[in-house]
Amino acid sequence: MSFPRRRKAPKTQNSELHEIDGENEDDDDDKKRNPKTNLRKDKRWSCVDSCCWLIGCICSIWWFLLFLYNAMPASFPQYVTEAITGPLPDPPGVKLLKEGLKVKHPVVFVPGIVTGGLELWEGHQCAEGLFRKRLWGGSFGELYKRPLCWVEHISLDNETGLDPSGIRLRSVSGLVAADYFAPGYFVWAVLIANLARIGYEEKTMYMAAYDWRLSFQNTEVRDQTLSRIKSNIELMVATNGGKKVVVIPHSMGVLYFLHFMKWVEAPAPMGGGGGGLDWCAKHIKAVMNIGAPFLGVPKAVAGLFSIEAKDIAIARAFAPGVLDKDVFGLQTFQHMMRMTRTWDSTMSMIPKGGDTIWGGLDWSPEGDFNCSAKKLKNNDTQTADQSGKGSLGSTKRVNYGRILSFGKDVADIHSFEIKRVDFRGAVKGNNLINTTKCDAWTEYHEMGIEGVKAVADYKVYTAGSILDLLHYVAPKLMARGDAHFSHGIADNLDDPKYEHHKYWSNPLETKLPNAPDMEIYTMYGVGVPTERAYVYKLTPAAECYIPFQIDASAEGGSENPCLKGGVFSVDGDETVPVLSAGFMCAKGWRGTTRFNPSGIRTYIREYDHAPPANFLEGRGTQSGAHVDIMGNFALIEDVIRVAAGATGEDLGGDQVYSDIYKWSEKINLQL
């Protein structure tokens, strides 16, 4: 049975309005009955709201933490640290003050490469408003604001190695020149603070700041820095009752002060200070070298050759375009290379002594070093160490003498199997690129494809052929370098040619001063993997490119754990291998030798690296790393004791953990 349907009348405008009004009336009734529910219905949460909420939370937390930081007692961080790690030892200055140590010998600090601040005295228009502002050291704010202007002002003239036209950058003076490299990153600050604990102050401490970009002799030519160091040391001795100074150089500052000791003796007509042969004997008690690259560092070769080191090579492998032109068009590597190749001081760090010191194609002094084994601690003196106690053999010898190898297989095989084509006479080909498209000009642009291929076809470079390689790929750089530095071994130190200033920073081509009562220390960290040799590959051709690159994919695996990310590591302080830091005091200067005719006493003080146990310890108080060692409590204690009058024998003589004596004996050097 069906029922007739009632047809719906078509909706009119009035009926639609009535329905809407009805709905609104119902909604109003609902809002009155349940207002909270309807507030949620009306509120729509947008992305802008989310962002504002997040920013607000971050700002609130930040200001709250900042308030707590400023409100809490100064001793609170130490309280938290001691609650976690136990009681902290007294800082060395406090400990030695309790023992009764007081100020005795004035101290002179000699900073190393890059750690000293540089400020602007004259610049181009892009540097408007930066008069006497730090362009190096400090916050590096101008680097981020105007990078190309910054590079222009930090660079030196590529022909003279001095100031470019219209630019004057000078070293910051005083202890603040190198106490901190950047906010929160100390260099000399911890040592200065601990010396102050036993009474040292500005009149008994002097920072021998200099423009570390210049060649050592040019610091005197342009700024008379060596003369000012001489005058300040003489003044400190005169105003402190005739007590001699204790000099504390770090890193490249070690080579700089070695140059100074020859400069101050040399007569003025030869570019010297005219102090006489007994000046050092009258004014210097001890030279305590920290992280000394006496014989150079392989890391400098990689820096000059491809503007790389281990960390940069790894970062470049993970993000191949970030630092190159491929992504941002900034040509970062090219600007860095152009800038650093104007710094003549970098050439002082090229390995010295050739194959005699660093090894050849099939041997090296450290070839038996085992990267996977932990060294046994040994505080014994030279006799015990030379017997081989504490050293662990390696399952596979490493060809550390091959500082640069093109290909992992080339780094491993015997030299008889390597087919080499000499690059020295190779003719450089056409330019690699259209030079008009390059923002930063490098000397690689003049080599051409033929020149690049010639370098790679030589396969392997030892310390003896590295100089020829750099002359081929960077002729302008090396032309300046040859006038200021030498990297060989002297046959006859009495030859008049060694009176030239270019030999003064090479310990293998100069004599120590005639100062038998002076002491020389070499103080460095051990137990940190340190760059010693590299595996390279050719970079795919592109505009304005650097054709050589560390092969970060080259791994040694369990068979050869010393090879990681294209870099062979050895024992050292992360920057300076043990061989470079320790050889001269272990053998070259030990006793009376042709390099040490007056028999100055030498001591090796090694500090076994122990990383911080947790983040509250900062960079650690037992670190052996190249810069962090400046906060090592044991090293600071040794420095303060000597400054307060102790001798090397009072410290206990040598303190050795590495195989430096064994490795030194493998080097056949006429003494």
In the residue annotation, 251 being an active-site residue is answered as yes
The one-character DSSP state at 335 is: H
Q: How far is CA 115 from the centre of its chain?
A: 9
Q: Are 221 and 96 in contact (CB under 8 A)?
A: no
Catalytic residue among 155, 215, 251, 348: 251
Beta strand 528-538 with 548-550 is antiparallel
CA–CA distance, 317 with 632 (Å, rounded to integer): 33
Q: How far is CA 539 from CA 33, 163, 201, 320, 456, in A?
A: 75, 33, 53, 11, 11
Q: Are 169 and 205 in contact (CB under 8 A)?
A: no
**Residue 1 exposure: Cα atoms within 13 Å on the Cβ side:** 0
Residue ranges of alpha helices (H) inside 266-321 are 279-283, 298-306, 310-318
Side chain identity at residue 646, one-letter code: A
In the residue annotation, 163 being an active-site residue is answered as no
In the residue annotation, 250 being an active-site residue is answered as no
CA–CA distance, 633 with 247 (Å, rounded to integer): 19
Tell me how crowded residue 19 is: count the other CB atoms within 10 A of its CB: 11
Q: Torsion angle, CA of 533/538/539/540, rounded to 10 degrees?
A: -160
CA–CA distance, 112 with 135 (Å, rounded to integer): 17
- CA angle 218/467/496 to nearest 5° reads 55
Q: Could you list the beta-strand ranges (E) of 134-177.
A: 134-136, 168-171
Q: Are 395 and 413 in contact (CB under 8 A)?
A: no
CA–CA distance, 209 with 225 (Å, rounded to integer): 8
Q: Indicate the SS3 state at residue 660.
A: helix
CA–CA distance, 192 with 188 (Å, rounded to integer): 6
The one-character DSSP state at 576 is: S
Residues 6+ apart with CB under 8 A from 457: 420, 421, 423
Catalytic residue among 571, 573, 628, 659: 573
Catalytic residue among 626, 628, 654, 659: 626
Beta strand 118-122 with 168-171 is antiparallel
Q: Indicate the SS3 state at residue 297.
A: coil
Residues involved in catalysis: 251, 573, 626
